[in-house]
Amino acid sequence: MEVDIGKLEGKVAVISGAGRGIGRAVALKLAADGAQVVVNDLDGEPAADTVAEIGRLGGSAIACPGDVVAVQFGEQLVTSALDAFKRLDIIVNAAGYTWDHVIQKTSDEQWYAMIDVHLTAPFRILRAAAPYIRDAAKREIAEGKPVCRKVVNISSLAGLDGNVGQIAYAAAKAGINGITKTLCKEWGRYNVTVNTVAFGLIKTRLSGSLAAGNSIEVGGKQIAIGVNPTLLQRLETTIPLGRAGTPEEAAGAVYLFCIPESDYVSGQMLVCGGGVTF
């Protein structure tokens, strides 16, 4: 997948959580179609790896590692894009992880961790981008050269229909849908489309078997990741396509909202779940 002149040539994309999994696949997909990319990840090494891979393919990217839940990080991420590339056209809010428990076992710490990373962080990134988007849109419209910018927020089937053991995660992912609907109305005048992709079961390190004993470190705390193996097997059998999706397939769904063909599509949710319906 080498970079060529494509539909996103000249565009600059900021992607949170782009060091691994779906976010990394999105970064590679957009870069392959010509976008310059700001790659965020909590950890510096995977962010640098994604940047290096984009460079190997002939694209252009910079790393902006850091914790998206930090109060000032939204400003830092937007500033990095403007300092490096002088513009900002696409924002993909993909950072996140799961920390699961049924409600009676969910602590306040778990609740706020999920709300912060899946809901507050996207809000702060978008708020930080607002002054640039407003001023750029006004200037472009006055010059008779309007530019269509894109926001793609990441949700989940858990945010649409709930999921046992994910009270906090589901609440946060439901909330991002509200952000999408509202910002679509607020930023339409700036020629910005705002949409959501809600993922079903996608094969990443977060959706592997819990029996593997994998964990991630967040804020100095080790958090177990994965899905109960029995539940995982049952989930796959309920998917009409009969399997979990790949990160590359997930990235394709995000890409649909980034290209010019979707310039008149806004405030919508696309379910990328292999045919799962409600």
Q: Which residues are catalytic?
A: 169
Amino acid identity, residue 222? Q
The residue behind tokens 């949700």 is: 155
Which of the 8 DSSP states describes residue 260? G
Tokens encoding 84: 């490096």
Residue 185, CA atoms < 13 Å, CB-side half-sphere: 5
Alpha-carbon distance of 35 to 88, in angstroms, equals 10
CB atoms within 10 A of CB 70: 13
**H/E segment holding residue 223:** strand 221-224
Alpha-carbon distance of 248 to 202, in angstroms, equals 10
Which of the 8 DSSP states describes residue 116? I
Classify burial at 13, counting beta carbons within 10 Å of its beta carbon; exposed 0-12, middle 13-18, buried 19 or more: buried
119-123 contacts at long range (C-beta below 8 A, 24 or more positions apart): 119/172, 119/175, 119/176, 119/179, 120/69, 121/16, 121/68, 121/69, 121/73, 121/74, 121/93, 121/95, 122/16, 122/93, 122/153, 122/176, 122/179, 123/179
Alpha-carbon distance of 173 to 266, in angstroms, equals 18
Task: Phi first, then psi: give them for residue 16, nearest 5 degrees.
Answer: -85, 150
